[in-house]
Amino acid sequence: MNQESARLPNPSTAIGGDGRGDRSDAMLLSVQDLHVWFELKRWGFAHAGYVRAVDGVNFDLRQGEAIAIVGESGCGKSSLMKTILGLNRPIKGDILFEGQKLSELRGRSLQWYRSQVGYVQQDPYGALPPFMSVRRILEEPLVINRVKDGEERQARIVKVMEEVKLFPVDDFLTKFPHMLSGGQQQRVVIARSMILNPKLLVADEPVSMLDASVRVEILKLLRGLQESHNLAVIYITHDLSTVRYFSEYIFVMYAGQIVEKARVNDLLRHARHPYTHALLEATSDPDAKNAEVFKEVPPGEPPSLVNPPSGCRFHPRCPHMMKDLCDVQVPPDFEPTPGHFAACWLYR
């Protein structure tokens, strides 16, 4: 773990939202008061409320920095990512990339933005077009971005394949996705996301569909790329046991909101938010003693995002719920120790 902190690209990074942190122009990506709601329709037209998939998210990311966003399925992680990728429109709030508002980008500049952001999606098995060879899959983004010289395209394809360790390159160039194992397919997905030399890589549960023995390999590959290219990476997962090998910061998301932000070690050793405690308790290490004890995890399931609970959204499941406070008032971000934020009334 010490090694890991020694690798930190910028130890003084500010992660605070809410105007607390340093918002200088050095930020690569700045997510400000982001709200992404999906309208629910009844009988195809009558308004029936909103799914508040992202409901007030703030964070900043510098060049070369890796963060992890952790939370259960349906908490809004993919919606947040798709908004960053420009695939969803926020109903409120902004995303700034190198100081430019994403909502104001059009045409060429939007295409430029897309080339700056690589995307590794959740399910490698559905990510690759089945009737395209690896060569064509990797060539396509280059063609779209007007790399006209065939030799240059070939050189870039070979280079990126070497970087993701698809050896021997010549053998893989002609293969089709169904001929590849899950791990190899995910390497192709990563190669495709890297081929335009992006500054930011968004990896949405990149290993959750893969075998345990391959997971670590892919995560190490991503970590290596992050370091050698000084990439900023947003790593989305519900598995806390993998984040410590990967990122400097963890943001914990619950029901559309970020409830805790801290450096990895700080969060794993001194988690503050009761939801984070629950996630940690629920995560298993291989140990025969596990079979003898019951885990203390909150019952129930994440709330509906159409009518989220009042006050703290975790209050119906929280063992520390304080009546007339937690169920009524929304907790703001408290900062129990410098740089460690928790949206929980216990730290008022």
Partner 1 sequence: MTEDRLLRVQDLVLHFRTTQGVVQAVDGVSFELERHEAVVIIGESGCGKSSLARAILRLLPRNVHAYSGKVYLNGTDVMSLDEEQFRREVRWVKMSLVPQAAMNALNPVLRVGDQVAEPTMVHLKVDKQQALQQARKMFEHVGVPVDFLNRYAFELSGGMRQRVALAMALVTAPDLVILDEPTSALDVLTQANIFNLLKRLKRELATGFVLITHDIATSSELADHVAVMYAGQIVELNDAARFFSEPLHPYSQKLMASVPRLRADIEPDFITGQPPSLINLPAGCRFAPRCPSRFAKCDQDPPLFGQGRRQVRCWLYE
Ligand X SMILES: Nc1ncnc2c1ncn2[C@@H]1O[C@H](COP(=O)(O)OP(=O)(O)O)[C@@H](O)[C@H]1O
Binding site for partner 1 (CB under 8 A): 1, 72-73, 181-182, 211-217, 219-220, 238-242, 244-245, 268, 278-288, 290-291, 294-295, 297-299, 301
- Measured in whole angstroms, how far is the alpha carbon of residue 96 from the centre of its chain? 17
Residue 204 Cβ, how far from Mg ion at the closest point, in Å?
6
Give 217's contacts (C-beta < 8 A, 6+ positions apart): 183
**CB-count burial class (<10 Å; 0-12, 13-18, 19+) for 229:** middle
- Residue 237 β-bridge partners: 70
Report yes or no: 4 and 264 within 8 Å, Cβ to Cβ.
yes
Q: Choosing among ligand SF4, Mg ion, partner 1, none, which partner's interface includes residue 322 (Cβ < 5 to 8 Å by kind)?
A: ligand SF4
Selection from ligand X, Mg ion, ligand SF4, none that 76 binds (CB < 5 to 8 A by kind) is ligand X
What is the rounded (10 degree) CA torsion for 290, 292, 296, 302?
Answer: 60
Chosen from Mg ion, partner 1, ligand SF4, none, partner binding at 331 (C-beta under 5 to 8 Å by type): ligand SF4
CA angle 278, 283, 284 (to 5 degrees): 140
Q: Applying CB under 6 A, which of residues 326, 333, 340, 341 lies at the interface with ligand SF4?
A: 326
Site for ligand SF4 in 254-283 (CB under 6 A): 273-274
Query: Residue 53: CB partners within 8 Å, gap ≥ 6?
Result: 36, 37, 38, 76, 79, 80, 256, 305
Q: Angle at the Cα of 52 (from 50 to 55), degrees rounded to 5? A: 140
Q: Is 318 in the site for ligand SF4 (CB under 6 A)?
A: yes
Stretch that binds ligand SF4, among 111-119, 150-158, 238-246, 340-348 (CB under 6 A): 340-348
Residue with Cβ nearer ligand SF4 (235 or 314): 314
* Pick from 241, 164, 170: nearest CA to 201: 164
Task: Choose among ligand X, partner 1, ligand SF4, none what residue 16 binds, the Cβ cut-off being 5 to 8 Å by kind.
Answer: none
Q: Which of 78, 88, 226, 237 binds Mg ion (CB under 5 A)?
A: 78
321 binds ligand SF4 (CB under 6 A): yes
Q: Which residue is nearest to Mg ion (CB)?
A: 78
88 binds Mg ion (CB under 5 A): no
Rounded to whole angstroms, how far apart are CA atoms 33 and 50?
17
Q: Report the alpha-carbon distance of residue 163 to residue 18 in Å, rounded.
A: 38
Q: Candidates 37-45, 84-92, 300-308, 315-323 — which segment interacts with ligand SF4 by CB under 6 A?
A: 315-323
CB of 348 to Mg ion, least distance (A): 32
What is the SS3 assignment for 91-156? Answer: CEEEEEECCEEHHHCCHHHHHHHHHHEEEECCCHHHHCCCCCCHHHHHHHHHHHCCCCCHHHHHHH
Select from Mg ion, partner 1, ligand SF4, none the partner in contact with residue 104, using the beta carbon and a kind-dependent cut-off of 5 to 8 Å: none
- Return the number of the residue (82 or 273) whose C-beta is nearest ligand SF4: 273
The answer to whether residue 75 forms part of the interface with ligand X (CB under 6 A) is yes
For residue 232, list its beta bridge partners: 200
Residue whose pair of structure tokens reads 């090694």 in the numeric block: 3
Q: Which of 29, 34, 53, 234 binds ligand X (CB under 6 A)?
A: 53
Examine residue 38 and tell whether it contacts ligand X (CB under 6 A): yes
Q: Which does 77 bind (CB under 5 to 8 A by kind): partner 1, ligand X, ligand SF4, none?
A: ligand X
CB of 18 or CB of 301, closer to ligand X: 301
- How close are the terminal C-alpha atoms of the chain, in Å? 30
Q: Which of 9, 74, 182, 336 binds ligand X (CB under 6 A)?
A: 74
- Provide the binding-site residues for ligand X, judged by CB under 6 A: 38, 51, 53, 71, 73-79, 305
